[in-house]
Amino acid sequence: MVEIGQVLLAAPRSFCAGVDRAIEIVEILLEQHGAPVYVRHQIVHNDHVVRRLEGLGAVFVDHENEIPAGAICVLSAHGVAPSVRANCEARGLRVVDAVCPLVSKVHAEARRYADSGHLVALVGHADHVEVIGTRGERPEATVVVESPADAAKLDAGGKPIAVITQTTLSLDDVAETVDALGERFGDLKRPAADDICYATQNRQDAVKELAKQGATMILVIGSETSSNARRLVEVAERNGATALLIDGESGIDPELLAGHETVGVTAGASTPEELVALVLRGLASFGYDELGEVEVRQGERQLPPSAGGHKPGMTSVEVPYSIASALPSLTVLDITNEIRRELNTSGQEKRDRVRLTPRRGGARARAGAGVRLLRRPRGAARPARSPGGARAGAAALHAARPTRRADPVRRR
């Protein structure tokens, strides 16, 4: 156990806008229609979220044929091929689309590029459910490119190349493969900047900053099934830190923290914020009693007005205009988990969905470049790091932070 330890918390972290939207759709359906509500595939790749929704009455299935005729079928955030939708319609299922709007936009681009005579190079993992769905739009004109080696041997058959990417991969993740395609084929048709969702990139950049600010151990909260959480571990390791993927519920072995004075904490885009709070409380009990935040923002844009004409005084660091304008009912999307949402139903009913307690101005002392101090005893200066200098009251510093889902169905 350390005498005095510091935790650096990454921002952004946890739910991205597409994940939050998908989960909320299932919750609203359960509230309005009751159980069961069937969901094709895991709504998002997080075991905690899936178990919680199952407890509320959601039933997750691997194939739409497992759903009784006429029942509600929610399509997960990762998207599906057109053949799945067609089969749902043929079986009389009541389909509710919880697909991430950015994924839907990538699907549209796959169709547009293929229909204009391009060979669509889909950069991603062939076995990922999102890639399977995207390729299903135009399978005869789409090829999955997983690596620079795949790019080097790709035969375009004389067609021009258009590149689209798996959304759970960052710009950094795909850069080498896209560059290899460019070297082989010259000019590529690439998505415009406004098509980029920065959720994955921002979370990875925040992890890089954690390592830069001195975190020698970085804990990534997420499930093994989460592609973006596993990438965060890889990014941490590439930047010189020791990294662990933890589920956030099973506790932390203090022996794993031995020798690490500064621990970084982040969470994948499918991980709820309440698991972050659990991990912080666990770290506090081991003596990591100072909490700072490392914040990275890229691709910041002001969101357009909602359908009702209200323009929030906030920006989105992750959602491009092209996506935000396609969601006029959602006026503010994810901003480092400190957001106010309004949901317009048919332009009439407006409901506040989530309001997290803002950081108090008095807790914004700088603890180093790029680090914002969040927890320290009132009036107390940071003591020297010396043996026997431990401070009492670590758990009090990490008292339960506001969680996103105090009421799992009604979050108003």
Kindly report which listed range (156-160, 205-209, 211-215, 315-319) carries the lowest average pLDDT score: 315-319
Q: Are residues 77 and 162 in the same domain?
A: no
Q: If pLDDT is split at 50, 70 and 90, which confidence band does 220 have?
A: very high
Q: Are residues 120 and 92 in the same domain?
A: no
Q: Are residues 236 and 374 in the same domain?
A: yes
CA 143 to chain centre: 26
More confident residue, 405 or 252: 252
Separation between Cα atoms, residue 77 and residue 40, nearest integer Å: 10
Q: Which of 130, 137, 290, 293 is catalytic?
A: 130
Which tens digits make up the pLDDT trace of 39-91? 999 999 999 999 999 999 999 999 999 999 999 999 999 999 999 999 999 99
Closest CA to 375 of 391, 388, 386, 387: 391
| Residue labelled with tokens 């180093």 | 368
HEC assignment per residue over 172-238: HHHHHHHHHHHHHHCCCECCCHHHCCCHHHHHHHHHHHHHHCCCCEEEEECCCCCHHHHHHHHHHHH
Indicate whether 353 pLDDT > 70: no
Q: Are residues 301 and 372 in the same domain?
A: yes
Which range of residues forms the domain containing residue 28?
A: 17-99
pLDDT score of 120: 97
Q: If pLDDT is split at 50, 70 and 90, which confidence band does 173 have?
A: confident
Separation between Cα atoms, residue 173 and residue 167, nearest integer Å: 11
Q: Are residues 1 and 88 in the same domain?
A: no
Helix (H, G, I), strand (E, B) or coil at 94: strand
Q: Are residues 412 and 310 in the same domain?
A: yes
Q: Where are the alpha helices (DSSP H) in 66-170?
A: 82-90, 101-115, 129-135, 148-152
Q: If pLDDT is split at 50, 70 and 90, which confidence band does 288 have?
A: very high
User: Of the candidates 159, 179, 194, which is a domain's last residue?
Assistant: 194
Indicate whether 38 pLDDT > 80: yes
User: Of the candidates 158, 176, 194, which is a domain's last residue?
Assistant: 194
Element (H, E) at 56: helix 47-56
Q: Are residues 123 and 234 in the same domain?
A: no
C-beta separation of 322 from 104 below 8 A: no
Helix (H, G, I), strand (E, B) or coil at 32: helix
Catalytic, 130? Answer: yes
Q: Are residues 234 and 335 in the same domain?
A: yes
User: Of the candidates 44, 72, 99, which is a domain's last residue?
Assistant: 99
Q: What is the CATH number of the domain that holds 396?
A: 3.40.1010.20
Give the alpha-carbon dihedral of 383, 387, 388, 389, to 10 degrees: 10
Closest CA to 214 of 366, 367, 377, 364: 367
pLDDT score of 2: 52
Q: If pLDDT is split at 50, 70 and 90, which confidence band does 255 have?
A: very high
Q: Are residues 243 and 149 in the same domain?
A: no
More confident residue, 205 or 306: 205
Number of H helices, E strands in the chain: 12, 17
Q: Are residues 243 and 269 in the same domain?
A: yes
Q: Tell me the CA distances in angstroms from 390 to 7, 169, 284, 378, one per residue in order.
A: 15, 41, 12, 16
Q: Are residues 389 and 244 in the same domain?
A: yes
Q: What is the CATH number of the domain that holds 84?
A: 3.40.50.11270
Q: Where are the alpha helices (DSSP H) in 92-159?
A: 101-115, 129-135, 148-152
**Mean of the per-residue pLDDT values for the chain?**
76
Give me the DSSP letters along 363-386. G--BSSTTEEEEE--TTPPPPP--
pLDDT (mean) for 3-13: 88
Q: Are residues 318 and 393 in the same domain?
A: yes
Which residues contact residue 276 at a Cβ distance below 8 angstroms, ignoring those fewer than 6 apart?
A: 9, 13, 14, 221, 248, 265, 267, 401
Indicate the number of domains in the chain: 3
pLDDT score of 199: 85
